[in-house]
Structure 1
Amino acid sequence: MYKIQANASGTRSIEVNDSHLETIRKYSLLSGLIDSNGIIDEDILDKLRFNVRGLLESEPGKDKDLLDLCLDVIYNQNMKAIGLGNLVALYKQWAAEHQETDDADEESLMAE
């Protein structure tokens, strides 16, 4: 379980777990989300919410993990642009750590 700061003063936070991060990876939700300027603002958060809403509408009730991600993180009442920036940073760190284990799993499967 990870905690991301959701506002500038640090009084609000959002809990993120490995399942949420796996769902972000599964749907590539952060891929191509941020413009070339690297600034994460409320418009980027809205873009993410629209993308997720489209996914949910195209497959209603099919993916509980995506719905959980929405309820717990993306549509959390505390989620603001700062929170999304911290989620992106957490995801990058998590993905780098889990890339090594994914590569090791693939190598062990190929060896069998």
Structure 2
Amino acid sequence: MAKIQTNASGTRSIEVSDQHLATIEQYQLLRDLIDSNGYVDEDVLDKLRFNIRSLLESETGRDKALLDLCLDVIYHPNMKALGLQNLVSLFLDWKKNKTANNGVSAD
């Protein structure tokens, strides 16, 4: 379990589990999410929420892990652009460590 900071002052955070990160990986929720400018802002967070909403409305979105991710992280009242940026960083570190531990190339 890891905590991500969701505001600049550090007074708000969200706990993110390995299961949440695995669900992000399973559904490739962060793929092509951030524009070429590299900035994570509220529009990017809205885009993620719209993508997840469409997944939930489809037959494949009837997954408890995806619902848990939404309730616990993505739609958490404290989730803002900074929180999403920190979630992306956490996910990349998690993926890198997972790949290193499995001895698989990260390409």
TM superposition score category, shorter chain reference: over 0.9
Q: What are the equivalent positions in structure 2 for 1:1-112 lying under 5 Å apart?
A: 1-59=1-59, 62-103=62-103
Structure-2 change in CA distance of 1:55 and 1:103 (3 Å): farther
CA contact (8 A) 2:73 2:79 kept: yes
Letter in 2 for 1:97: N
What TM-score does the superposition give when structure 1 sets the normalisation length? 0.88
Letter in 1 for 2:5: Q
Distance in 1 between the 2:12 and 2:52 partners? 23
Letter in 2 for 1:40: V
How far 1:101 moved relative to its partner? 3.3
For the pair shown, which has the larger CA radius of gyration, 1 or 2?
Answer: 1
Distance in 2 between the 1:97 and 1:48 partners? 24
CA contact (8 A) 2:45 2:84 kept: yes
Aligned pair count?
A: 104
> Structure 2 regions of 5+ residues with no counterpart?
none
Letter in 2 for 1:78: N
Letter in 2 for 1:50: F
Letter in 1 for 2:89: A
Distance in 1 between the 2:34 and 2:4 partners? 19
Letter in 1 for 2:76: N
**RMSD over equivalenced CA pairs, Å:** 1.3
What percentage of aligned pairs have identical amino acids? 65
Distance in 2 between the 1:47 and 1:25 partners? 17
> Structure 1 regions of 5+ residues with no counterpart?
105-112
Distance in 2 between the 1:52 and 1:9 partners? 28
CA deviation vs aligned residue, 1:32-74 (integer Å, no higher than 9, x gap)? 0000110000000000000000000002772000000000000
